[in-house]
Amino acid sequence: MIYPNVVSTTELKNRRRLLEKERRIRLLISLFRLGAILGFTTITFWYVTLPHWVIRDSKQIEIEGNELMTVDEIRRLIPLKYPQSILKLSPQELARRMEKKMPVEKVVVIKEFQPPRLKIRLKEKPPVAVAFSPKISQKTPQITLEKVGYLDADGVFVDKKFYQNLEKQREKIPQLKIIGWPQTYLPYWQEVYHMIEQSPVKINTIDWRNPANMVLLTEIGTVYIGPYTSKFPEQLMVLEKMKSITRKIPRERIVYIDLMAPEIPSIKEKKEEKKEGKYAGS
């Protein structure tokens, strides 16, 4: 006859002790995990609010790569609210916002903690034209031209105050001039500049004060374009063909070249002054 295994009282006590020990270990592990989470949260909060890890003003921002804009002007344009925690700051987001707000091609933002500061490296967009606007003088009724800013190849208008360093480097100032109100020409500038840049006839000035007649000042004379339309590429092609006209008509005799109707271009010439012959008396 086989008798079933009988568990002794001692074994039962040992099992209870083992289960209680396991429960205590699990409780300790849970408490340790909770403490670690609370500790990490506390340390993180302490780091974030640590006064020494905060950008308090723009003087803690180092600028590199600028040649046309001044450091003070760039700092003033940086879209940051002070004080700013370094840990909360996103370098990529700040760089993206700067590229939208400033005349730059690329911005790289680097965070440094000892001491707390930002290092910003940027590549500026060079301007391609100087912008002038008409201005009525308060002293005289005459209209003068005032330099108001610059344009880049993408049609972004930049106020002249942004380029204080450029003003000191005359050799880097663009030769091309645009006259008029920015709201008139900015919507078309990118495509207009692209075509002008490729034109074999050198164009020095675009006078867009009158939207009904864009005027080009070129190496062969003043050119009337009329309103800017899809005919502009054709008008530039006709102007190229007329480049040789100065061989027949002296440059100083040309008042203007009329390309408003490119299929029938015309030239307005100065009238020849009649020379009075001397009377030969007897």
Q: Based on the domain organization, do 95 and 204 belong to the same domain?
A: no
Domain membership flag for residue 2:
no
Domain membership flag for residue 40:
no
Domain membership flag for residue 139:
yes
- pLDDT for the residue numbered 251: 83
201: confidence class by pLDDT, cuts 50, 70, 90: very high
- pLDDT for the residue numbered 100: 87
Q: Which of 149, 67, 159 is nearest to 105 (CA)?
A: 67
Distance between CA atoms of 251 and 270, rounded to whole angstroms? Answer: 11
Q: Based on the domain organization, do 57 and 97 belong to the same domain?
A: yes
Q: Based on the domain organization, do 133 and 58 belong to the same domain?
A: no
pLDDT tens string 20-43: 777 777 877 877 787 778 767 766
Domain membership flag for residue 35:
no
Burial class (CB in 10 A: 0-12, 13-18, 19+), 22: exposed
Decide which of 89, 108, 124 is a domain's last residue: 124
Number of domains within the chain: 2
CATH number at residue 237: 3.40.50.11690
Decide which of 124, 148, 180 is a domain's last residue: 124
Burial class (CB in 10 A: 0-12, 13-18, 19+), 99: middle
Domain membership flag for residue 77:
yes
Q: Based on the domain organization, do 95 and 145 belong to the same domain?
A: no
Domain membership flag for residue 8:
no
DSSP three-state, residue 125: coil
Range of the domain at 104: 52-124
Interior/surface letters 115-145, b for 16+ CB within 10 angstroms, e for the rest: ebebebebebbebbbbbbbeeeeeeeeeeee
Q: Based on the domain organization, do 173 and 250 belong to the same domain?
A: yes
Most confident of the ranges 30-34, 139-143, 228-232: 228-232
Q: Based on the domain organization, do 217 and 109 belong to the same domain?
A: no
Domain membership flag for residue 182:
yes
CATH number at residue 67: 3.10.20.310
Structure tokens at 222: 């003043």
